[in-house]
């Protein structure tokens, strides 16, 4: 092969590699998602964890006390995770919960199939169905009919990834911040109770002792037991 031919061949190879690289960049992402608004993720679902940023946003918008608060409850974050066992964080409690705490979201309008707080979704709902575990991204519910639908651009995928990372970080921050706060609240309330007891008269203290002894001797009643 002449030197000229070898040069042309090398140039062609480089060009081909460049095109392949560019095509690789343009390849559609594997994960595609477009919500089909079926409402499945708002029904038969687990309680929704709420973060400080959700609470702050709702408070600023004035929707917290009237709309959100009545549906919140404190729960342990997770039974398997030792950090989770220590922390109680706010969750949106589901309606008509089954034995696995799954139920219908109180903000879901079943008749019109819409979310009543769509304008200010909890971050956990905003990122559905793509989540971040701290190490990798994962799809929390492969049965979601939106998976595999629509176009997925790099920007949209990056946006979804950013939201899932934000959700992960904010839930972790909320959990970590609440552990010392819980200890603080408990110590505060114990001190308050002790201060109240110290202020009581000897007669009232005797009454309180009497009540405590009585309650300790009582057998708890089964609320479902029928009177004979
Ligand atoms: S996210 Fe999925 S399950 Fe939820 S409404 Fe959209 S398509 Fe349905
Ligand atoms: S807050 Fe809205 S999007 Fe989230 S589960 Fe409830 S109804 Fe669905």
The pLDDT assigned to 12 comes to 62
183 versus 74: which is more confidently predicted?
Answer: 74
Region 78-97: mean pLDDT is: 72
What are the C-alpha distances in Å from 102 to residues 26, 48, 107, 226?
41, 10, 14, 29
Ligand minimally distant from the alpha carbon of residue 36: 1
Ranges of each domain in the chain: 40-174
pLDDT band at 147 (very low <50, low <70, confident <90, very high): very high
The pLDDT assigned to 192 comes to 72
The pLDDT assigned to 75 comes to 81
Residue nearest to atom 4 of ligand 2 (CA): 125
Ligand minimally distant from the alpha carbon of residue 40: 1
Cα angle 108, 53, 35; round to 5: 40
pLDDT tens sequence across 38-61: 999 999 899 999 998 999 999 888
Q: From the alpha carbon of 146, which atom of ligand 1 is closest?
A: 7
pLDDT tens sequence across 202-224: 888 888 788 777 766 655 444 44
Ligand minimally distant from the alpha carbon of residue 58: 2
Nearest to 112 by CA among 30, 189, 37, 20: 37
Lowest mean pLDDT among 19-33, 110-124, 134-148, 214-228: 214-228
The pLDDT assigned to 1 comes to 57
The pLDDT assigned to 225 comes to 44
pLDDT tens sequence across 159-176: 999 999 999 999 888 887
The pLDDT assigned to 80 comes to 54
Structural tokens at position 22:
């560019």
The pLDDT assigned to 113 comes to 92
Structural tokens at position 127:
């990122």
* Pairwise CA distance, residues 107 & 114, whole Å: 9
* Pairwise CA distance, residues 228 & 220, whole Å: 17
Other C-beta atoms closer than 10 Å to the C-beta of 88 total 17
Ligand 1 contacts (CB < 6 A) are 35-41, 128, 144-146
Q: From the alpha carbon of 143, which atom of ligand 1 is closest?
A: 3
Substitution site in 50, 95, 105, 114 for ligand 2 pocket (most atoms within 8 Å of beta carbon): 105
pTM, rounded to two decimals: 0.68
The pLDDT assigned to 82 comes to 53
Ligand 2 contacts (CB < 6 A) are 42, 45, 48, 105, 107-108, 115, 117, 121-122, 125
Element spanning 76, H or E: strand 72-76
Residue 14, pLDDT above cutoff 70: no
Region 177-186: mean pLDDT is: 68
Lowest mean pLDDT among 82-86, 122-126, 220-224: 220-224
Residue nearest to atom 2 of ligand 2 (CA): 115
Pairing mode of beta strands 72-76, 88-92: antiparallel
Percent of the chain with pLDDT over 90: 42
């Amino acid at each position: 092969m002449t030197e000229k031919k070898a040069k042309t061949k090398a140039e062609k190879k480089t060009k081909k590699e460049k095109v392949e690289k560019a095509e690789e960049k343009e390849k559609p992402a594997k994960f595609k998602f477009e919500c089909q608004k079926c409402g499945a993720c708002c029904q038969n679902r687990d309680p929704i964890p709420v973060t400080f940023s959700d609470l702050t946003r709702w408070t600023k918008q004035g929707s917290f006390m009237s709309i959100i608060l009545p549906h919140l409850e404190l729960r342990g974050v997770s039974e398997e995770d030792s950090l989770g066992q220590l922390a109680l964080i706010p969750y949106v409690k589901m309606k008509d919960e089954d034995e696995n705490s799954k139920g219908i979201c109180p903000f879901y309008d079943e008749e019109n199939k819409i979310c009543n707080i769509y304008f200010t979704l909890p971050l956990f709902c905003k990122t559905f169905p793509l989540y971040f575990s701290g190490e990798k991204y994962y799809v929390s519910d492969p049965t979601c009919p939106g998976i595999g639908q629509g176009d997925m651009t790099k920007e949209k995928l990056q946006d979804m990834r950013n939201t899932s990372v934000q959700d992960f970080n904010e839930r972790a921050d909320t959990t970590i911040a609440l552990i010392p706060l819980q200890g603080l609240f408990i110590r505060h309330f114990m001190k308050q109770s002790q201060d109240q007891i110290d202020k009581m008269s000897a007669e009232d203290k005797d009454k309180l002792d009497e009540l405590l002894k009585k309650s300790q001797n009582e057998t708890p009643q089964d609320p479902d037991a029928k009177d004979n």
